[in-house]
Structure 1
Amino acid sequence: MNTVRDNFSSSKLFTCITSGSYGEGLEMRGSDLDIMQVNKSIKVNADKQPDFDPSITYLSMDTDDVKPGFTQLRLEYSRKSVYFGML
């Protein structure tokens, strides 16, 4: 049921993913509904640079000097500054 809702909620710009306990199929009393939206026009690169597309925002990962399980994201290219609150 969650997968069907996610597929109907997704578009060319965003992918919807039902997450959390409800997304795993656990319906516990008092549990909330967690839905993530993944923006398809933002790419995060861990190691290699992909083919460049000027309509996509590119971020790179920096894992030096951060706690395990965390990363810092560095903006490499963006045509639109509204994603990150810049003017």
Structure 2
Amino acid sequence: MGGDKKARSLRFEEFAREEGGLFDLLDKIKAEYLAKMGQVKPGDAKTLETLAIGARVADQLAAQVRSVIAAGEIEAVNEDRRAKMNVTPIRKSI
């Protein structure tokens, strides 16, 4: 992903953490998958596996969003440290 990590982080965080935002949506989807797992007939391993995969995908999506948010927070801390130390990052061209 190119662009400004801090700006992207702020956009993702605002969208994800708002009331009814992405994290709430992913939690709801996961809960629905888990609830359906409780209704599956014994011995229906294929359906259980499918529902478990769906719940795991919801967790992975949430983890990716948290990763984008964290990357922006790390970039902000790094910029603050560079500013305090009066250091400019070196950009190498290839």
Q: Compare the two structures and name the one with the higher helix fraction.
A: 2
Query: What is the TM-score with the length of structure 2 in the denominator?
Result: 0.20
Q: Compare the two structures and name the one with the higher strand fraction.
A: 1
Give the greater-gyration-radius structure (CA): 2
Higher-RCO chain (CA-CA 8 Å, sequence separation at least 6):
2
Query: What is the TM-score with the length of structure 1 in the denominator?
Result: 0.20
